[in-house]
Chains A and B, each alone.
Chain A
Amino acid sequence: MNLDARIPAGPIERKWERHRFEMKLVNPANKRKYSVIMVGSGLAGAGGAAALAELGYRVKCFCYQDSPRRAHSIAAQGGINAAKNYRNDGDSVWRLFYDTVKGGDFRAREANVYRLAEISVNIIDQCVALGVPFAREYGGLLDNRSFGGAQVSRTFYARGQTGQQLLLGAYQALERQIGLGQVAMFPRHEMLDLIVVDGRARGIVVRDLAGGAVEAHLADAVCLATGGYGNVFYLSTNAKGCNATAIWRAYKRGAAFGNPCYTQIHPTCIPVTGEHQSKLTLMSESLRNDGRVWVPLRQGDRRKAEEIPDAERDYYLERMYPSFGNLAPRDIASRAAKRVCDEGRGVGPGGRGVYLDFADAIRRLGEDAVREKYSNLFEMYERITDENPYRVPMRIYPAVHYTMGGLWVDYNLMSTIPGLFVLGEANFSDHGANRLGASALMQGLADGYFIIPCTMGNYLATLPPGPPSADHPEVRGAVTGVENRLRRLLAVKGTRSPASVHRELGQLMWEYCGMARNRAGLTKVLQAIPALREEFGRTLTVMGAGGELNQQLEHAGRVADFLELGELMARDALEREESCGGHFRDEYQTADGEARRDDARFCHAAVWEYTDEARAPARHVEPLMFENVNLATRSYK
């Protein structure tokens, strides 16, 4: 398998500039002859579709939601990083690059991360030009706040709804192109297979979710911006519809999958309340600017929070990580929460929770100032828990939030299938083994607004325009394959709903492939998942028919793919015999419980290649070279 990352030569500060010069161009008059498919309409998808359409390409954009404005980027709360150094606090492109490489525990490609940091400054400019109402100071200039894993204030925000505002900016740019006829939009359409003709990605098979029709769409190139696969855990902060089907179908058509085991468990989410729980809700990392995390010093202390005096509280992040304190990176803060709860010091029902306390901030700044910064988050917390966080501390616990792994891409964001590009969370590229807060929005928009418009031209310039014929055997075969798959799901007529199997898979993944993993557990889950998959194939029940809106059928298809992907994640976690970032193996830790990397054996991306149903996938490696950042033990102490 060819895993050439196609990183341009030269010093890291010049690579992207040099690459833009060296890439081939499509002249403006020829661009309209090429068509591009974009799957997904989040920051990467909507941004990319709008940017490609502005250049003159004909774009078809697909999303499963009823409107492109609803993609899950909308739910991002805290902010977006950019190396503007507007605070004069020592920030720079180099520092953002360094923080991100270190934050990812030295498991991301240096060149990609540098480009991301470089582009970050253009993103903020572009968003402001599009009318994104970022928070401002009284002088009229932009405000910033701090996020985990950084000692500078470089995060731009729009109250606790930054993702919403950035997405609406991208959505409006996309709608403008739809109005101009440059983009054809297909909402309520779900991609169910990739069409590969003569080794190149040339189209997709979709199901019209409203009417049930299965159809092929063909183009000169295909982009997947379909988000992450956190819903393999059933409970996560992802939207209910988020799924891995697009990337999984592409994987089974030959696109390699990078680092599937790297998942991010976010430290500050509202704890689970019962069996009925259908999803978990994040409380933004930005809250850790002013909230202090603590648990009682004593095990089994059942007093109310306000009855516990300061001396009997353990502000454990401040104690363990004095230089970053409550703003320790996510993987570290999550593990610390798990540890204090494992010690029996957790709070709330079931003891799986820690306090996030704003009492000091309210005393220091006043309630109004706290309200101004976080009101929507506090309201959301109150609606869900029926507790007022202005009066009592929030209770929080880690939850699955993001997946750093995804389809392998080269520097051009192209997968191992020529003509298949992967953007945003769906790819594996920039965050290594742990993503820093406020970096997902940055990556989505960098990929969509600024990278794909350049690299797409470089690819298309090598091809004569024009998609393959709809009668091509590969096209017809892919459509038939999807129809058969749907028919099989409907034909089982067993007793278990897709949701019940999904929940069981999620429990297995959380237990054995979640915040802490070990050989015994992973070995166990690698037997349990195929057994569950077999049961799914035997006992599934889907009511209704294929030719109509059928939400059970949609869910069943997604669960079928999660049941395969979960196994690959566990396999990857088992093979990676080290701890790094969000991947923590019990066997590989330091005396004080920190992650212990093994750079001699694992300083690489693990890249998985699908073989066939009968055989295990093949594990390849892309070695990672650190020429600009010293490969050091990550410390936030």
Chain B
Amino acid sequence: MRVTLHVWRQRDARSAGAFATYEADDISPDMSFLEMLDVVNERLITRGEDPIAFDHDCREGICGTCGLVINGAPHGPRRRTTTCQLHMRSFRDGDEIWIEPWRATAFPVVKDLVVDRSPLDRIIAAGGFVTAAIGSSPDANAIPVRKEDADLAFDAATCIGCGACVAACPNASASLFTAAKLTHLALLPQGQPERLERALRMVTQMDAEGFGPCTNHGECHAACPKGIPVEFIGRMNADFLRAGLTRGRREAQAGDSAGG
């Protein structure tokens, strides 16, 4: 098959970018989208042109490295499918395909289709963990966890941190990403002691990184390759609100115990 690509090319964060057009013929429908780009790049190299830079690694939909906006949709037309798992059989011969990087103030372009997603790491560093020093754990079966809770926690924990939710959101909000981690840990007994503090810290960090607020568009869920439910954002907001309401009391208690 033959497709026409309009690819965003940008030298670096400081330079202006623009679309460049490439004809890609002799494309097999069994190729993944990224394999199609590999072929285009090989041909560019043969012609002595700079190949298109794009992020990718595992190419099996789990590492979260790849991510292209394809015809306006993060990760392209197929639901619950990362860019690397999208195959050319999802397109028709003769199609025009527009390829862009994630667009968000918090994700500056590094080059072409590659963006800097380190703000997501900083949201995790702010509180997306359970404090459990290595070696200090009780037996794994000491604390039973309801299967329903464990399963739902797992559903939240499947987030691959690709950032498609941010790219899809009209406000470029990272709420689904942040809510997924908060939900995962809030459903487990191990996550309870730090639950409210975690919500407070992660949401505060999300705001500080320049992500927009959630105004319930739900585009994030539609774009999420792992289908993280948008309801998790409600759980995040509930914990965040509770954390704010009880903060004074908790600080007073902390002060008392520190003083004692």
Contact = CB atoms under 8 A, between A and B. Distances in A.
Interface of A: 47, 50-51, 54, 65-70, 72, 74-75, 84, 86, 122, 124-131, 133-142, 158-159, 161, 163-165, 168, 171-173, 175-176, 178-179, 185, 187, 210, 239-241, 273-274, 276-279, 281-282, 379-380, 383-384, 386, 449-450, 453, 495, 497, 499-500, 541, 543-544, 548-549, 551-552
Given A140-B144, A179-B126, 10 more contacts: A67-B64, A125-B138, A131-B153, A140-B145, A161-B158, A171-B124, A240-B58, A384-B32, A384-B87, A449-B134
Given A128-B140, A141-B144, A239-B59, A551 B158 contact: no
Interface string B131-153: 11111111111011111001101
B138 to A, nearest CB: 7
B130 A278 contact: no
Contact of B140 (A84, A449, A453): A84
27 contacts: A54-B133, A66-B55, A66-B116, A66-B118, A70-B65, A128-B140, A131-B188, A133-B153, A136-B145, A136-B151, A159-B154, A164-B62, A164-B158, A164-B160, A168-B157, A172-B124, A172-B129, A173-B129, A178-B121, A278-B35, A279-B60, A380-B85, A384-B32, A384-B87, A386-B87, A386-B89, A497-B42
A176 B129 contact: yes
Nearest to A187: B118
Contact of A543 (B49, B129, B161): B49
A127 B130 CA distance: 10
A130 B87 contact: no
B52 to A, nearest CB: 9
A543 B51 contact: yes
B89 A130 contact: no
Q: Main secondary structure on chain B at its contact with chain A?
A: loop
Given A75-B58, A129-B138, A159-B154, A67 B117 contact: yes
Given A140-B146, A241-B57, A497-B42, A276 B35 contact: yes
B121 A69 contact: yes
Contact of B131 (A67, A176, A210, A281): A176
B212 interface: no
A240 B137 contact: no
A161 B56 CA distance: 19
Contact of B62 (A75, A84, A138): A75
A210 B132 CA distance: 34
A136 B63 contact: no
A175 B145 contact: no
A551 B153 contact: no
Given A131-B185, A187-B118, A274-B30, A552 B57 contact: no
A158 B85 contact: no
A130 B190 contact: yes
A122 B136 CA distance: 10
Given A172-B124, A187-B118, A274-B28, A239 B63 contact: yes
B104 to A, nearest CB: 15
A274 B150 CA distance: 41
Contact of A549 (B48, B85, B111, B144): B111
A277 B35 contact: yes
Contact of B135 (A126, A127, A185): A126
B61 interface: yes
A129 B136 contact: yes
Contacts of A175: 121, 124-125, 128-129
A66 B129 contact: no
Contacts of B129: 130-131, 172-173, 175-176
A544 B112 CA distance: 13
B59 to A, nearest CB: 5
Contacts of B116: 66, 210
Contacts of B34: 278
A135 B149 CA distance: 11
A139 B137 contact: no
B134 A173 contact: yes
Nearest to A176: B129
A135 B135 contact: no
A130 B130 contact: yes
B31 A276 contact: yes
A28 to B, nearest CB: 13
Contact of A72 (B42, B57, B87, B160): B57
Nearest to B54: A551
CB-based closest 9 A-B pairs:
A140-B144, A129-B137, A172-B129, A179-B125, A129-B132, A133-B154, A175-B125, A125-B137, A239-B57
B154 A158 contact: yes
Contacts of A133: 150-151, 153-154, 157, 184, 188
Contact of A165 (B145, B151, B157): B157
B78, B134, B145 — which one has the most chain A CB atoms within 10 A of its CB? B134
A129 B57 contact: no
Nearest to A544: B50
Contacts of A129: 130, 132, 136-138, 190
Contacts of B185: 131
B38 interface: yes
B81 interface: yes
A100 to B, nearest CB: 20
Contacts of A140: 144-147, 150
A551 B65 contact: no
Given A274-B28, A276-B28, A142 B140 contact: yes
A384 B61 CA distance: 11
A274 B42 CA distance: 16
A350 to B, nearest CB: 13
A125 B45 CA distance: 51
A67 B35 contact: no
A70, A86, A142, A185 — which one has the most chain B CB atoms within 10 A of its CB? A70
B40 to A, nearest CB: 11
B114 interface: yes
A74 B89 CA distance: 27
Contact of A551 (B36, B51, B125): B51
Contacts of B153: 131, 133
A454 B153 CA distance: 33
B150 A122 contact: no
Contacts of B161: 67, 69-70
Contacts of A142: 140-141
B45 A552 contact: yes
